[in-house]
Amino acid sequence: MIKNNLKIMIFTYEYYPKIGGVGTYTYNIAKTAAKLGFNVTLLAPSFNFPNVSSFDESQSFKTIRYKGSRKVSKINLIYLIYNAYFYLRTNYKQYDIIHCTDWPTQIALNVVSKLIPLEFSITNYGSEILAYRSNKLLKFLSSGLFNRAKAIITISKFTKHLIEQHHIDAVNFEKINVIPCGVDHNMLYEPIKSVNRFKERLGIAADCFVFLTLSRIDIRKGHELVLKCLINMPKEILEKIKYVIAGEGFYIKKLKKIVQDYNLNKYVIFTGYIEESDKVSIYDLCDVYIMPSRQVGVGVEGFGISFLEAAARGKPSIAFNHGGVPEVIVNFKTGLLVEPDDLNGLENAMISIYRNEKLRKDLGIAAKERVKKEFTWEKITQKTFNFLLNFLEDGFN
């Protein structure tokens, strides 16, 4: 049984109000660890947003904010290293576990640990592993990271394989454990609210069929591939569906241009940023979650937490058979997987799931049951700190 009197520091760069997959992971690990009785301190940037204090004060764990910009530039990375050193040089001994949940903090502690005899663990997702090899600065700053980290968590077998493939000479593979992401209790059990009211807010008819993508709007998430499928969709189907794109990101201008150029305005809705309080409602209003993410440059889908969230609301998913996605979606059991960049296959999957109500229902039920059994944050957090505890006797502070 895991001890609950441990003092844990979680160090992150992506966090509220800059929430993506990593920020969601970090917040839920911290919140659930505190709920389980751990003494948790979270070290995160403020991003100069005025409302972070009230958010932090409402949490069950302590949050210490440092100055940080939303963009991780070279200067900001150096400043992050300085902040980590400034705080930890006098505080590191008070923590039983120091855990980094994203790549900038991993870089920072890799450097700081050469100056201070601290030990730390890390969580890896996928893209950063490739970036450490392809970017000269990151390659230099991450040198020795996987050897220096006391324990390594990867969110998928795919991510673990990336470390084995690209950093094989520097890793003791016994200290790597695959522990996936999870979903919040409320995501699983919150009652369905007035879906029609939320549809009305977005201008969607009550009987309209909705495909949803909720993610950072980035080229590798595959939004434009769904748009291409809509362009070729049979008119009688297209007239009955809406594609809801929820989230923010630099690629949104490109998507809006595609929508404009191909006269898809009637069928595509951009919601902008979705508040955490609206997440359940946005999943509930959709019939199918779709995100055909694929590798673009060093960017890969190491897991896909939004697939889990959709599943928790009983929604099936359509995705490419890429990265860690097959570890989240079981093909023809909890969703449909299509080979990467197969647009015909993607369009056929969209049409078949639209036409087959029984298939949608069966996939959605199975998806939710799988989440209940394997992917609650309580189970994931217990696994995380049980694993990290195994290394305490070998030298955590």
Per-residue confidence (pLDDT) for residue 170, from 0 to 100: 65
Q: Which residue has the tokens 């502070």?
A: 397
Closest CA to 26 of 395, 357, 380: 380
Question: CB–CB of 12/25 below 8 Å?
Answer: no
Could you give the 3-state DSSP secondary structure of residue 314? Answer: coil
Q: Quick one: DSSP state of residue 214?
A: E
Per-residue confidence (pLDDT) for residue 368, from 0 to 100: 97
State the CATH architecture for 185-374. Answer: 3-Layer(aba) Sandwich (3.40)
Here the tokens at position 303 are 């897991």
> Which of the four CATH numbers 3.40.50.2000, 3.10.129.10, 1.10.357.10, 3.40.50.300 does domain 7-182+376-394 have?
3.40.50.2000
Per-residue confidence (pLDDT) for residue 394, from 0 to 100: 58
Q: Is the pLDDT of residue 297 over 90?
A: no
CA distances from 334 to 15, 43, 232, 303 (A): 30, 36, 26, 15
Report the amino acid identity of residue 123: T
Question: CB–CB of 3/37 below 8 Å?
Answer: no
Q: Is the pLDDT of residue 397 over 80?
A: no
Give the list of residues 6+ apart from residue 89 with CB closer than 8 angstroms, or none: 115, 116
Per-residue confidence (pLDDT) for residue 1, from 0 to 100: 45
H/E segment holding residue 74: helix 74-91
Residue-wise pLDDT for 8-55, tens only, equals: 999 999 998 877 889 999 999 999 999 999 999 999 998 777 778 889
Q: At what angle do helices 223-232 and 252-261 cross, to 10 degrees?
A: 10
For residue 348, with 0-12 CB atoms within 10 Å meaning exposed, 13-18 middle and 19 or more buried, which class applies? middle
Residue ranges per domain, the chain?
7-182+376-394, 185-374
Residues in the chain: 397
Q: Quick one: DSSP state of residue 276?
A: G
Please provide the average confidence, as pLDDT, over all residues in the chain.
91
